[in-house]
């Protein structure tokens, strides 16, 4: 407790009576019987007046001790006469002569959020991360570095309490800790906005605590793979960024490619982040409000998706007082096609991180990103799938998930047809957990089938049950996978039976086989499999039949899907050249080097396809290079 003398020139005797002016944070432990205090009337009753000498110290001046009538807000000097066993405090009106005032700046004894006890009074200092107005109190979510707690302040029903306090302000809250809807909540008797050195000290303490807690866990890789190790530091950086985002109370929105690899990437990360959110927040519903996962049908961030996401975020800020979210892009987001969406978000405070294995355009996207993890940035390629990377990311966030994720990298690799050297080890790891290779392939097919019918829906429980991550019923998992994978196989066979009689074949000058088919005319539409999957299945069949270098092109009125085995294609480069060479073609697209999709103007289809075939004919053969991924269109 610091005393600061006021109203005294500093000369002469200090024997004059002292009247203490208590800071708002002072408590009963800072007062003593017989001392004088500056007070303010806070209530008038028949038997006297109630006065405050600080935010936490109040008491009664009995009518028998009043020298005149007082009203609420009147100031007076009182003498503390009694502190009763039940905590009640009694004062008398005092009129000391020739007194001097001593300001008392109390350092309050605060309680950490993670140490709050229901039924006890507490003082919490922290920063406001969310302000939500209800039909009753105003709910301030306060972060002190150890956790985030809701503090309910009441002015009157539906009226904003403490309108001077905004998100990111440093505050001191005093009140009783109670339970509300299963969570601890501080019923705020006082809420004070801090400033100056006090606020700065609170911010520094919180920053130090968050920096320490944001550090990712040091976990050993599931499989020793030198090529993968090049990405580990970048993945740790994203884990640190995500943990810090959760600790700061900021929402997270995940967009992922709606295929097997995209779901193998997003589900483990979702589970890890939701568990960490629950650990940080006292509110058990926080994961539901602060995390959102949504699939993207295209392997890039479409303007339709970003417009929906931005509108959702702005509504969340307006209706619930939330910060704008952190955006995590998985299995998409690293190409020039993503730039318009990112530039749209650049008008707002929405950080973006990307984990992807599509061929990137780092010069275009990196200036707009907070983090970008991609094997191509380290001279590796798409054989390292996004699902493989995100399983390690999830373990860095929450290593306790490891046992339930050992099979996921193998599912991701098989779903994207990765021929990485480490695939054998991933499959063996899954087999040690009771999954046969056939089980893993069926899970991947079931995921693709479910994603097709879910379309823009995340399919929360269904997808978790299919992947067997966070699934509580092993029997249901196996029954679901069997049902969905069998339906997928049936629908693929039905599609190929319709398509195969209409497939055109020619031998390119390079010696490669070229198979083309008009999917708009000769494939079942608006059903499973989609054009990308249909082209991939047809391609795999032709590779098996010929045992030679094969290119397969499935096309429609304004799109083409490309698959290649044994041919050195560079689809992103081909797309750039076609856009320059075919005037009025409006060519765009991309994907992996030998697997991709392009779009163009409908009336220019013939010119685009002819130019595309010419470029593929000029490509060199490489019997060791094969397609290893899938493209949805």
- The pLDDT, as a whole number, for residue 2 is 44
**Of the candidates 101, 503, 572, 181, the residue with the CA atom closest to the CA atom of residue 360:** 572
**pLDDT over 90 percentage in the chain:** 77
Token duo for residue 217: 């866990």
Q: How confident is the model at residue 630 (pLDDT cuts 50, 70, 90)?
A: very low
Q: Which of 47, 74, 105 is the last residue of a domain?
A: 105
Indicate the average pLDDT of the chain: 91
| Confidence band, pLDDT 50/70/90 cuts, at residue 245 | very high
Residue-level pLDDT at 136: 94
> Does 181 map to a domain?
yes
* Domain-ending residue, one of 86, 105, 124: 105
Q: Beta-strand (E) ranges in 276-344?
A: 291-296, 326-330
3-state helix, strand, coil in the chain (%, to 5): 40, 25, 35
Task: Tell me: pLDDT of 214 over 70.
Answer: yes
For residue 92, pLDDT beyond 60: yes
Determine if residue 302 is left, alpha or beta; phi over 0 gives left, psi from -120 to 50 gives alpha, anything else beta.
Answer: beta
Half-sphere exposure at residue 211, Cβ-oriented, CA atoms within 13 angstroms: 6
Say whether both 620 and 544 belong to one domain: yes
Q: Distance of CA 611 to CAs 270, 517, 607, Å?
A: 43, 16, 6
Domain housing 272: 226-483
The CATH number of the domain where 159 resides is what? 2.40.50.140
Please tell me whether residues 565 and 420 are part of one structural domain. Answer: no
pLDDT at position 623 is 56
| Spatial distance between the Cα atoms of 32 and 628, rounded to a whole number of angstroms | 78
Say yes or no: 305 and 391 in one domain: yes
Please tell me whether residues 147 and 74 are part of one structural domain: no
If pLDDT is split at 50, 70 and 90, which confidence band does 459 have? confident
Residue 364 lies in a domain: yes
Q: pLDDT-based confidence at 29, cuts 50/70/90? A: confident
pTM given for the model: 0.82
Q: Alpha-carbon distance 282 to 463, whole Å?
A: 28
The helix/strand/coil state of 131 is strand
Those residues whose C-beta lies under 8 Å from the C-beta of residue 580, and which sit 6 or more positions away, are none
CA–CA dist 436, 285 (Å, integer)? 37
252 phi, psi to nearest 5 deg: -125, 130
Residue 237 included in any domain: yes
pLDDT band at 351; cut points 50, 70, 90:
very high
In this model, does residue 7 exceed pLDDT 60? no
How far is Cα 273 from Cα 564, in angstroms, rounded to an integer?
A: 37
Q: Kindly state whether residue 615 falls inside one of the protein's structural domains.
A: yes
User: What integer pLDDT is reported at residue 627 of this predicted model?
Assistant: 46
The predicted model gives 222-251 an average pLDDT of: 97
Q: Are residues 173 and 205 in the same domain?
A: yes
Q: Are 550 and 539 in contact (CB under 8 A)?
A: yes
pLDDT at 631: 45
Q: How confident is the model at residue 321 (pLDDT cuts 50, 70, 90)?
A: confident
339 and 443 both lie in a single domain: yes
Give tens-digit pLDDT for 135-186.
Answer: 999 999 999 999 999 999 998 898 999 999 999 999 999 999 999 888 899 9
- Read off the pLDDT of each residue in 447-472 and give the average, rounded to a whole number: 90
**Residue 629 pLDDT > 60, yes or no?**
no
* Residues 231 and 316 both lie in one domain: yes
For residue 430, the model assigns a pLDDT of: 97
Same domain, 52 and 180: no
Count of positions (residues) in the chain: 633
* CATH code, domain with 272: 3.90.1640.30
Instruction: Give mean pLDDT, residues 543-555.
Output: 94
In the chain, how many domains are there? 4
Residue 14 confidence (pLDDT): 63
Is 73 inside a domain boundary?
yes
Asked whether the predicted pLDDT for residue 71 surpasses 90, the reply is: yes
144 and 100, same structural domain?
no
- Among 416, 449, 483, where does a domain finish? 483
């Amino acid at each position: 407790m610091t005393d600061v003398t006021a109203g005294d020139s500093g000369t002469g005797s200090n024997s004059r009576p002292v009247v203490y002016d208590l800071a708002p944070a002072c408590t009963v432990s800072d007062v003593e019987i017989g001392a004088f205090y500056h007070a303010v009337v806070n209530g008038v009753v028949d038997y006297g007046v109630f006065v405050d000498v600080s935010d936490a110290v109040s008491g009664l001046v009995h009518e028998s001790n009043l020298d005149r009538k007082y009203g609420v807000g009147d100031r007076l000097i009182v003498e503390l006469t009694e502190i009763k066993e039940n905590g009640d405090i009694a004062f008398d009106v005092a009129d000391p002569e020739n007194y001097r005032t001593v300001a008392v700046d109390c350092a309050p004894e605060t309680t950490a959020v993670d140490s709050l006890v229901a039924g006890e009074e507490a003082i919490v200092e922290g920063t406001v991360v969310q302000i939500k107005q209800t039909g009753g109190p105003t709910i301030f979510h306060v972060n002190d570095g150890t956790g985030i707690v809701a503090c309910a302040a009441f002015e009157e029903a539906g009226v904003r309490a403490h309108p001077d306090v905004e998100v990111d302000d440093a505050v001191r809250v005093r009140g009783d800790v109670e339970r509300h809807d299963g969570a601890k909540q501080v019923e705020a008797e006082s809420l004070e906005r801090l400033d100056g050195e006090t606020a700065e000290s609170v911010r520094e303490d919180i920053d130090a605590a968050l920096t320490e807690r944001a550090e990712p866990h040091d976990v050993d890789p599931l499989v020793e793979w030198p090529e993968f190790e090049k990405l580990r530091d970048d993945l740790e950086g994203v884990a640190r960024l995500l943990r810090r985002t959760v600790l700061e109370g900021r929402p997270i929105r995940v967009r992922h490619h709606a295929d097997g690899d995209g779901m193998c990437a997003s589900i483990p990360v979702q589970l890890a982040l939701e568990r960490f959110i629950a650990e940080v927040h006292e509110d058990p519903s926080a994961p539901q409000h602060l995390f959102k996962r949504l699939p993207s049908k295209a392997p890039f961030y479409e303007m339709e998706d970003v417009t929906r996401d931005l509108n959702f975020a702005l509504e969340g800020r307006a209706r619930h007082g939330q910060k704008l979210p952190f955006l995590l892009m998985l299995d998409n987001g690293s190409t020039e096609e993503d730039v318009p969406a990112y530039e749209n978000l650049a008008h707002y405070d929405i950080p973006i991180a990307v984990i992807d294995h599509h061929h990137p355009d780092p010069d275009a996207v990196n200036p707009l990103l907070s983090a970008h993890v991609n094997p191509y940035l380290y001279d590796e390629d798409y054989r390292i799938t996004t699902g493989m990377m995100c399983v390690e990311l999830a373990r860095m966030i929450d290593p306790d998930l490891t046992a339930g994720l050992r099979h996921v990298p193998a599912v991701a690799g098989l779903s994207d047809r990765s021929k990485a050297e480490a695939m054998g080890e991933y499959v063996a790891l899954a087999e040690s957990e009771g999954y046969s290779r056939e089980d893993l392939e069926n899970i991947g097919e079931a995921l693709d089938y479910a994603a097709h019918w879910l379309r823009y829906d995340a399919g929360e429980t269904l997808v978790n049950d299919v992947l067997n991550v966070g699934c509580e019923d092993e029997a249901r998992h196996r029954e679901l996978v069997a049902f969905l994978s069998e339906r997928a196989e049936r629908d693929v066979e039905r599609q190929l039976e319709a398509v195969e009689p209409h497939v055109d074949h020619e031998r390119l000058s390079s010696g490669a086989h070229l198979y083309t088919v008009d999917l708009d005319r000769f494939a079942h539409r608006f059903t499973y499999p989609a054009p990308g999957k249909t082209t991939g299945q047809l391609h795999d069949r032709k590779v098996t039949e010929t045992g030679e270098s094969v290119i397969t092109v499935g096309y429609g009125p304004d799109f083409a899907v490309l698959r290649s085995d044994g041919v050195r294609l560079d689809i992103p480069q081909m797309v750039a050249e076609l856009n320059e060479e075919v005037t009025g073609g409006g060519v765009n697209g991309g994907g992996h080097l030998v697997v991709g999709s392009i779009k163009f103007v409908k009336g220019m289809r013939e010119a685009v396809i002819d130019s595309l075939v010419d470029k593929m004919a000029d490509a060199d053969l490489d019997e060791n290079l094969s397609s290893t991924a899938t493209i949805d269109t």
